[in-house]
A = this chain, B = another copy of it.
């Protein structure tokens, strides 16, 4: 079956969790910084190119720019500059094979918009609205807690009319060990008051929303729109406490939010991806993502994906790249996923554990069909193909 799959075109990919790419040129240090979740340069004598992700970039991307796989990073970056960021981005994105992008627009930097990304890739895009970013923009123009909360409610409802879904980074800002219930009006107003006052006093730490009461309110506001809600869990940058991003900490919230009908998509998960898969197995409204966990583990992507596919029902697992900044990460995310999934399914079919038709069907589910069903993808912005 592996030979069969390699010989025919792969199914299109729906990337349900990704970000814009940098518009301008990147020097070597800036490029390397996008290969890690760290906020610091690599330790003396080491390099972030010496990682599974770095090696995966050097495997898949040089051939797309006319170089040999595994050529030295400097060689690759020189060729990239020679082509120019725009042309390199176009070549890389078109090669990734993603036809639909759900773009989280809440990250900083001079990044492409969803429309630009879709145009460059020859695909289509929809927006995922990051709740904390939305709250911070509303707070920028709010004077009182009441007006903030009212404007926030309006903003969430307005976003729900066009967005494909919401995303929460409460795991980063506080941890997933939040009280599971919606906050009552009085403590909510008090928390909003405190936050606006801290912002007004010029406290730079207060620019970002980190109060657990406000974070819970954002989660419940999104849940009540019944759009899918993405939740950061597991692996991320050193802002977070990884052990407080264990998706199992969400269990009581998952139970509480179930009656709203809101689908919850647990992003990343690694190294708690088996726990995320368990939640997807036992709660009908919970789904598991396999983005960042594959991109950052490179040659080990198949092993990690296999762990997700232990207890997660196959209708509950969604492909993504979680690409951010570098178009290379779209290539790597897509190729690692396809190679990993093809490898697993080929082995299971060969061993007789799975039927070949089931394997084909599951491949299409995880690559695209599950995301289409969960996000009701039918009115995407079509890019310039």
Contacts and interface: CB of A to CB of B under 8 A. Distances in A.
Q: Max chain B CB contacts within 10 Å: which of A47, A237, A310, A348?
A: A310
Contacts of A274: 270-271
Given A315-B47, A348-B299, A355-B69, A248 B238 contact: no
A178 interface: no
Contacts of A270: 274, 311
6 tightest A-B contacts by CB?
A46-B315, A70-B355, A271-B274, A299-B353, A243-B248, A297-B310
Contacts of A252: 241
B238 A70 contact: no
A111 B298 CA distance: 43
A76 interface: no
A262 interface: no
Given A58-B355, A316-B46, A297 B311 contact: yes
Nearest to A36: B281
Contact of A243 (B46, B59, B275, B281): B275
Interface in A305-349: 306-307, 309-316, 348
Contacts of A237: 282
Interface string A351-365: 111110110001001
A303 interface: yes
Contacts of A242: 248, 251, 275, 278-279
Contacts of A243: 246, 248-249, 251, 275
A76 to B, nearest CB: 12
A330 to B, nearest CB: 18
B358 A70 contact: yes
A56 interface: yes
Contacts of A303: 306-307, 310
Contact of A51 (B38, B251, B299, B314): B314
**Interface size band for A:** 35 or more
A297 B59 CA distance: 31
Contacts of A59: 352-354
Interface string A37-60: 111111111111011100110110
A304 interface: yes
A121 to B, nearest CB: 25
Contact of A43 (B249, B275, B304, B315): B315
B282 A238 contact: yes
A335 B37 CA distance: 33
Contact of A300 (B43, B304, B310): B310
Contacts of A241: 248, 251-252
Contacts of A312: 51
A284 interface: yes
A94 interface: no
B351 A299 contact: yes
A16 interface: no
A313 B281 contact: no
Q: Max chain B CB contacts within 10 Å: which of A43, A44, A48, A243?
A: A43
7 contacts: A44-B373, A50-B313, A50-B315, A51-B314, A69-B355, A241-B251, A241-B252
Given A36-B282, A238-B283, A315-B42, A300 B309 contact: yes
B43 A352 contact: no
Interface string A263-274: 000000011001
A53 B37 CA distance: 36
Nearest to A354: B55
Contacts of A42: 284, 313, 315
